[in-house]
Structure 1
Amino acid sequence: MDNVLDAGIEVARDTLQQRVAIRLRELLIQGVLAPGAKLNERELCERLGVSRTPLREAIRLLAAEGLITLDPGRGAFAPVFSLADVAHTFDVLAVLEGLAAELAASQITEAELEELQALQLEMQAAFERHDLPHYYRANARTHELLSTASRNPVLRATWQQLNARMHALRFRSNQDEAKWAQALNEHALMIEALQARDGPALRDLLVHHLHRKRDAVLEQLAIASAAKPV
């Protein structure tokens, strides 16, 4: 899998803090910074081509999102979630995404629907060339667009806060090709339900989709835990 985070590309100086946060978020999502790993400021500064000040500001931003854990006296770490934390979070996300989808079915604009259809084609192409980073970006934009189309700012803000914590796990859940193919097919069914403006069907698809994602993530975490030396 190609790494979209080329170490040789320097971060532009405009909106530097936000740009560094974006790069750090990608490192965390793709597992380059593994769960529990301490963030080495010197190495990250070299990798991103920035000084410690914007890096530390970006770390504080991501800590507020729950993507980084700050431990006073020890430093910043990639977060580790328990199986219960993951299960509970995905269960709530399923409800939120299901509701957002049901609302979106009756309120989505033609322009938004066209963008979702284009994103589906992008995901299909990325799947065929085994480009998981590109697939995930299009996938994340799809779920983001559905939350926007709900026209419910409270729902959207709540979803964004919880979803940020699960980004890395959602990304890695598609590393199993059969589950990845199934997820892609589920997204195609979502497009069909949206075109039909069938809110209840779309809600059920999203809830089922998130439950399958939850189960895939929990399975991976259980396997990884069992493989660790005692």
Structure 2
Amino acid sequence: MTLREAPQSPIHTISKRSLHDQAVEQIRDLIIEGYLEPGQRIDEAALIADLGISRTPFREALRTLAAEGLIEIRPSRGSVVRKLSAEEVKSMLELQAHLESLAGRLACERATDAQIAELLDIHDRMIVLYEARDRLRYYKLNQAFHTQLAEAAGNSALTETQRSLQARLKRIRFIGNRQPDFWEAAVREHTEMANALRERDGKRLAETMARHLTNTWDRVRNVVNSEGR
């Protein structure tokens, strides 16, 4: 059975936009949503057929996802979805908590009014998607919020490090909202972030960002531990 034949598969034939960008986005989404599971070997022939593209843009897409830390390319053995150990996930989330706490404090000091307005607009759109229970689109806006907050901190080293960690944690952050109560709690935390950002309260935003990332580990640990067995 190909992914196209699987129940509720999100895959669709690629057209228009850059073939590379679309392939990256679709394969990334398959990984994030669990259609391609950690440790699973990627069936290149089946995916190429499902996506309706040639081998060249497909292989380029795999290289991009490997750079993001989502897959591992094994010469002569094919590619597999990267499986993160519980220790790796916890350590990355701990570092991300400190980075985003610092980003929150600096953003309140340095961000332009336009940057803050854009962040608040993203938050408002996230709430709309939460109320519609559109989990994947909510997740993507959530990622955009965290990325733009780091950029608003005005520290290029922080932004680069945050972006690298966030790429490797994409699937982990998505499964953090798998249960309704987890998602509801995360939304409450994001509302706290928005309120602190609106008031340029760096201390409060820093504390909320750190707590948000710490709570993410609590929300994903059971899944991560079970996958490592």
Shared fold (TM-score, shorter chain, > 0.5): yes
Number of matched pairs: 223
Flag the 1:10–1:19 CA change in 2: closer, same or farther, 3 A. closer
Q: Is the 8 A contact 2:111 2:152 kept in 1?
A: yes
Match of 1:185 in 2: 188
* Residue segments in structure 2 that go unaligned for 5+ positions in a row: 1-6
Match of 2:22 in 1: 19
Flag the 1:80–1:65 CA change in 2: closer, same or farther, 3 A. same
Identify the range of structure 1 (15-24 vs 73-82) with the bigger mean alpha-carbon deviation. 15-24
Cα distance in 2, alignment partners of residues 51 and 134 from structure 1: 28
> Secondary structure of 1:50's partner?
coil
Match of 2:115 in 1: 112
Q: What is the deviation of 1:85?
A: 0.6
Q: What is the deviation of 1:112?
A: 1.9
Work out which of the residue numbers 138, 142, 149 in structure 2 matches 1:139: 142
Q: What is the aligned-residue identity percentage?
A: 34
Match of 1:57 in 2: 60
Cα distance in 1, alignment partners of residues 160 and 206 from structure 2: 19
Match of 1:150 in 2: 153
* Residue segments in structure 1 that go unaligned for 5+ positions in a row: none
Match of 1:89 in 2: 92
Cα distance in 1, alignment partners of residues 97 and 8 from structure 2: 29
Could you tell me the TM-score, scaled by structure 1's length? 0.91
> Secondary structure of 1:174's partner?
coil
Match of 1:10 in 2: 14
Q: What is the deviation of 1:19?
A: 2.6
Show CA shifts across 1:72-104 (max 9, x none).
232101100111011111101111111111110
For residue 153 of structure 1, what is the amino acid of its counterpart?
A: S
Match of 2:74 in 1: 71
Q: What is the deviation of 1:222?
A: 2.8
Show CA shifts across 1:139-185 (max 9, x none).
11110110110111111111111111110010011011101001001
Cα distance in 1, alignment partners of residues 161 and 66 from structure 2: 17
Q: Is the 8 A contact 1:11 1:50 kept in 2?
A: no
For residue 143 of structure 1, what is the amino acid of its counterpart?
A: H
Identify the range of structure 1 (171-180 vs 114-123) with the bigger mean alpha-carbon deviation. 114-123
Cα distance in 2, alignment partners of residues 154 and 5 from structure 1: 35
Could you tell me the TM-score, scaled by structure 2's length? 0.91
Q: Say what the alpha-carbon RMSD is for the aligned residues.
A: 1.8
Match of 2:166 in 1: 163
Q: What is the deviation of 1:200?
A: 1.4
Q: Is the 8 A contact 2:147 2:162 kept in 1?
A: no
Q: Is the 8 A contact 1:3 1:133 kept in 2?
A: no
Segments of 4+ moved more than 4 angstroms: 223-226
Matched, 1:209 2:215: no
Cα distance in 1, alignment partners of residues 145 and 9 from structure 2: 19
For residue 65 of structure 1, what is the amino acid of its counterpart?
A: E
Cα distance in 2, alignment partners of residues 102 and 47 from structure 1: 45
